[in-house]
Chains A and B, each alone.
Chain A
C-alpha cells in the first residue's frame, strides 16, 4: 500500500519541452505539497494545496504550474524546461488535523538535457 506515489520515477527530456509529474496519495489527507531538491541536496518548498485550493506559492517561475483535480492528486506541469530545472521533485501530503507531519513520496528525478 503506497501512501504517496509519484509518476514517473525518472524523467529525461530536452530543453524547451513541456512535461508533467503526477502525485497521488491514498491517506485521505487534505493538504499536498511539492518540493524541489537540487543537486546539492537542498530542499525547498514550491507549492501547497489545501482541499484543492492553492495556499503556498513560493517564488517559483511561472513555467511551473500545479494542478489539483481532487484532494488526492496534485500534479506539477512544467513548461519550456530549462537546464536548471534538473532536480528531484518530491510530493508530500499531510492530514488536516495533524499538519505538522508530512508524508513524502519517493521523488521524481528530472534531467533536462
Chain B
C-alpha cells in the first residue's frame, strides 16, 4: 500500500527566503505524486503533480518539486517566499483504480511566513 511521510508538521521561513517542504513516499508501483495547498477555511487546490516524464515539475505560484526515485522523495520548493504562501501543504501519492484515483495524503505541513 502507498504511503506518504511529510517531515515537519510546521515550517517557518522569512519572507523572501527559500521554502523547502519535505515529502517521502512508499509505493510498490511507479508513483503518481501530488502537492496540494489548503488556505484557511478553504478546500484543497492542486499545486503540481508528477505522473511520468520530466522529474522536475513546475506548478502554480512559483512552486516546483523534484521526483527522486532513488531517495523516494518529492520535496516542494519555492525560491522566495511570499506572505500569501502561508497555508497548509499536503503531499499525496495515488493508488490508481479504474476510473478513479485514491489519494493517500501525508499529515500536512503548516507553512508560516515571517515578515
Contact = CB atoms under 8 A, between A and B. Distances in A.
Main secondary structure, interface of B, reads strand
B43 A105 contact: yes
A55 B99 contact: yes
A20 interface: no
Nearest to B46: A101
A51 interface: yes
B56 interface: no
Interface residues of B, number: 27
Nearest to B51: A100
Interface residues of A, number: 29
Contacts of B103: 35, 43, 45, 102
Interface string B58-100: 0000000000000000000000000000001010001011111
Contacts of A104: 36, 43-45
A41 B90 CA distance: 10
